[in-house]
Amino acid sequence: MNSNDDRIKHRKLVLMNIHFEPLVPNMNLAQQMVIWYNDPEIASFIHHNNQERELHHFNIEEIYQEQAPHPTILKYVIMDDTFPIGELSITRNFPWLLKKVPNTAWISIVIGEKAYWGKGVAQEAMSFIENKCMDLGYQRIELGVFDHNIRAQKLYQKMGYTEFTRLDHFTYANGEWHADIRMEKLI
């Protein structure tokens, strides 16, 4: 068992201290994110794949470059005390919004540490995102979720997001094509 596994196992035994920190590019975080992005179970939920082939395998340099600040994207790390367990982002003027409605934020969330799945972390992260979006003056949130990510769909529905369209044959994962479900919520 590696040190991350030991640390996660230990975190299960104590109360979680979930909080959100602005993402500051660093190689340690990039190393952690490489694990998340290349885990087939996670990657098929977060990476668009427009060809019938295996998902792209990310390297640390790509992830580190992806961490770079961008003028239209706010990025945060989801932390349990000092341990990164996921990431989230809020994008202004996202070019692939399907509804071009003013004051719309595009959001994304990844819980990269599977030991935290089903523990309420994603719901806490979504509440953080919504509050941050309201603070920034957004009035609408749009997101995409692949149709095979049932857990995420249920969470979004529970939080008041509604499906407004599906983009069929959108991403290839696990040997088949999947739709991208677009959801929205007025805030």
Domains and CATH numbers, the chain: 3-186 (3.40.630.30)
Q: What pTM was estimated for this model as a whole?
A: 0.88
pLDDT in tens, 142-185: 999 999 999 999 999 999 999 999 999 999 988 899 999 999 99
Answer yes or no: are the C-beta atoms of 147 and 139 closer than 8 Å: no
* Structure confidence at residue 10 (pLDDT): 47
Q: Which residues pair with 124 in a beta bridge?
A: none
- Looking up tokens 């008041």 gives 160
Q: What is the average pLDDT across 53-70?
A: 90
The position carrying tokens 């706010």 is 74
Tens-digit pLDDT profile for residues 7-47? 555 445 446 899 999 999 999 999 999 999 999 889 889 88
Torsion angle in degrees (nearest 10) through CA of 136, 139, 161, 35: -30
The rounded percent of the chain whose pLDDT value lies above 70 is: 92
pLDDT band at 49 (very low <50, low <70, confident <90, very high): confident
Reported confidence tier of residue 2, pLDDT bands at 50, 70, 90: low
